[in-house]
Amino acid sequence: MPHLATDDGVKLYYEETGRGIPIVFVHEFAGDCRSWEHQVRYFARYYRCITFNARGYPPSDVPKDGERYSQARARDDIRSVLDALGIDKAHVVGLSMGGFATLHFGFTYPDRARSLVIAGCGYGAAPDKRAQFAEEAEASARRFEELTMAKAAEAYALGPTRVQHQNRDPRSWREFADQFAEHSTEGAALTMRGVQKRRPSLFDLADNMKTITAPTLIMTGDEDWPCLEPGILMKRHISTAGLVVMPNAGHNINLEDPARVQRASVGPVPRRRRGHLADARSARHGGRDPRALIVAFTPRNS
């Protein structure tokens, strides 16, 4: 199995498929590199696709020290993947926990990102929900430890923003839930406490968002309730951002409706590439027209 070493000595499992401009996919808490299989099968025809398992997700290492898990560390592990594979710049695509890491990567290492796709990003961000989110994260970590992932995963996979996946594609959801149940109990608890529970609110990062210059696509399902307002927040403060809201969709959008995710990212006809990754190479992502920032209901010269 191929592994690479991070700058702090943790070995991460990775997979690489295809040739060309690199895309790095960053998985969510309840996923791993297998979660991106639909996207890799599609994009590897045109791009060099890299997926990896975060620390805490075997066959990557599971450090036992909780201080080795954090939002900053998740961000820097993306950089370590690029460094280890000799990649100067890449398109970076992240969902949920991976979306947070992608956002932080974008404003911390702007010269390393060709573009960003930030999907399903926002859990625990609302200022009035911070305490509740931290309490629920700690409760989840304890539940993993008490029951083991093999028993706790099913209930987690049936959360209110994941039942949409089950309803739309029961077979795909079953595969997702079964893979989640295979995760390390220790790694899941450490990640939940170190990365999820302690990460900063998006509402405290508005000034950081304003520094992002890479073409950015924000994606969310319209029933992924905790991510709707944060999606608009990121759209408002990232001048190069586009926003896609997928109808009747929940949190697992890359699994629930992979074709729609791929069309938004590249476009429906590969030979006439239109979409986020193609537009990232053109003037379409030159930044927002300042005239679009004027708050008015009618044109001023009318």
| pTM (predicted TM-score) | 0.91
pLDDT for res 56: 98
When pLDDT is averaged across residues 129-139 and rounded to a whole number, the result is: 93
Using DSSP's 3-state secondary structure scheme, residue 232 falls into helix
d(CA 173, CA 29): 15
Range in 59-68, 117-126, 184-193, 232-241 the model is least confident about? 117-126
Per DSSP (E only), the strands in 72-156 are 90-95, 113-119
Dump pLDDT digits (tens) for 137-169: 999 999 999 999 999 999 999 999 999 999 999
pLDDT above 90 coverage of the chain, percent: 83
Instruction: Give the residue among 191, 193, 168, 8 at the shortest CA–CA distance from 98.
Output: 191
- In this prediction, residue 126 carries a pLDDT of 83
pLDDT band at 294 (very low <50, low <70, confident <90, very high): low
| Residue 119, burial from CB neighbour count under 10 angstroms (0-12, 13-18, 19+) | buried
| Side chain identity, residue 273 | R
Radius of gyration of the chain (CA): 19
Indicate the Cα dihedral angle 193, 195, 200, 201, nearest 10°: -90
What average pLDDT does range 233-240 have in this prediction? 97
Residue 227 clears pLDDT 50, i.e. is over it:
yes
Q: What is the pLDDT of residues 265-286, one digit of tens each?
A: 864 344 445 566 666 655 455 6
- pLDDT above 70 as % of the chain: 88
Residue-wise pLDDT tens digits, 59-84: 999 999 999 999 999 999 999 999 99
List all residues 6 or more positions away from 133 whose beta carbon is below 8 Å from its beta carbon: 123, 124, 197
Please compute the mean of the pLDDT values over residues 82-98 and round it to a whole number. Answer: 98
Residue 224 has pLDDT above 80, yes or no: yes
The tokens describing 238, both together, are 């990232």
- Span 100-124, average pLDDT: 96
Q: What is the mean pLDDT of residues 14-19?
A: 98
What pLDDT, on the 0 to 100 scale, is given for residue 268? 39
Nearest-angstrom CA–CA distance, 76 and 101: 8
Alpha carbons 219 and 227: distance in angstroms, whole number = 9
